[in-house]
Amino acid sequence: MKLYFKPIVVLVFFIFTNFSTLFAEDFKETYVVEIGKIDIGRLLWDVKMSNDSYKVLIKLKSKGFLSKLYKFEGSYEAAGSVMKGSLMPLMYKQLWLTKKKRREVEIIFDNHSVIGLEIFPYEKEQARVEYNEIENHFDPLSSFLNILIGKKKSKTIDGRRIYSMMVEKQNNYATGEIKKILIEDYVNIWADHKKNNLEYIEIKQEYNEGAFSMPEVIKIKFKGLIYKLRKT
């Protein structure tokens, strides 16, 4: 029962295409994490934007009666520059903890290229992808942000996989819109298979012209289960 971005996770906030409305802003929200109607945890999301930089921090922790059976905790952080209205990631860190596992990822970027990648536990397998030669890829949080500021596709590297986030459809309703983001072009860096447990992410957010708005609801289909993140 893992949440990705790893990804999240993918991931979680909404930005309108007019980037200038975001600068020098700080946004914090709490989300309830559910499977069906069962509350399994809390996600804290902190977004900081300025004229020339951005930083995203996510804290995830198990909660409720299921946490006695399956306890988890995660943190995800991305930081980078904003140049001419475009994101340029500089670093990404990920920590995932359960009773039996500890996984860590750190990626360093320079000019949209991966120049450093460290993971724990260390992989015994030989990398099947020359990740140091990868260009124009983003960490999961920055990539998700790319989609939400209007891009239809964003290439992603999370330390163990390479894939693309692609908007399949976008539906408007009276007070907002729903975007469905597919995970495509999936390749494992270390494993010799193309198994993709993360199928799609769906976000629902209200919009307010000229302003920033965090999503009201995020749905993540992972290993056949639907994880729902609902803003409190």
User: Are 166 and 153 contacting, i.e. CB atoms less than 8 angstroms apart?
Assistant: yes
1 CB neighbour count, 10 Å cutoff = 15
Residue 68 counted as domain residue: yes
Residue 41 counted as domain residue: yes
Residue type, 36: G
Residue type, 49: M
In whole angstroms, how far apart are CA 192 and each of 37, 156, 169, 183?
36, 19, 31, 18
For the chain, what is the domain count? 1
Q: Which residue has the tokens 């300025």?
A: 50
State residue 149's pLDDT score: 74
Residue 105 counted as domain residue: yes
Query: Structure tokens of 6?
Result: 């790893």
Residue 179 counted as domain residue: yes
Q: What per-residue string of b and e applies to 186-217 under the rule 16 or more CB within 10 Å gives b?
A: eebbbeeeeeeebebbbbbbeeeeeebebbbe
- What is the C-alpha to C-alpha distance for residues 170 and 144, in angstroms, rounded to an integer? 15
State residue 219's pLDDT score: 95
State residue 92's pLDDT score: 98
Residue 204 counted as domain residue: yes
- What is the C-alpha to C-alpha distance for residues 211 and 20, in angstroms, rounded to an integer? 10
Handedness of CA 19, 21, 26, 31 (dihedral sign): negative
Residue 11 counted as domain residue: no
- What is the C-alpha to C-alpha distance for residues 76 and 208, in angstroms, rounded to an integer? 28
Residue 5 counted as domain residue: no
User: Are 165 and 181 contacting, i.e. CB atoms less than 8 angstroms apart?
Assistant: yes
- What is the C-alpha to C-alpha distance for residues 119 and 96, in angstroms, rounded to an integer? 12
Residue 98 counted as domain residue: yes
pLDDT tens for the chain, 232 residues: list them: 444 444 444 343 333 333 444 445 788 999 999 998 899 999 999 988 888 899 999 999 999 888 888 899 999 999 999 888 788 999 999 999 999 999 999 999 998 899 999 999 998 888 988 888 789 999 999 998 887 777 889 999 999 999 999 998 888 887 788 989 999 999 999 887 667 788 899 998 776 554 456 788 999 999 889 999 999 9
Which structural domain range is residue 67 located in? 19-231
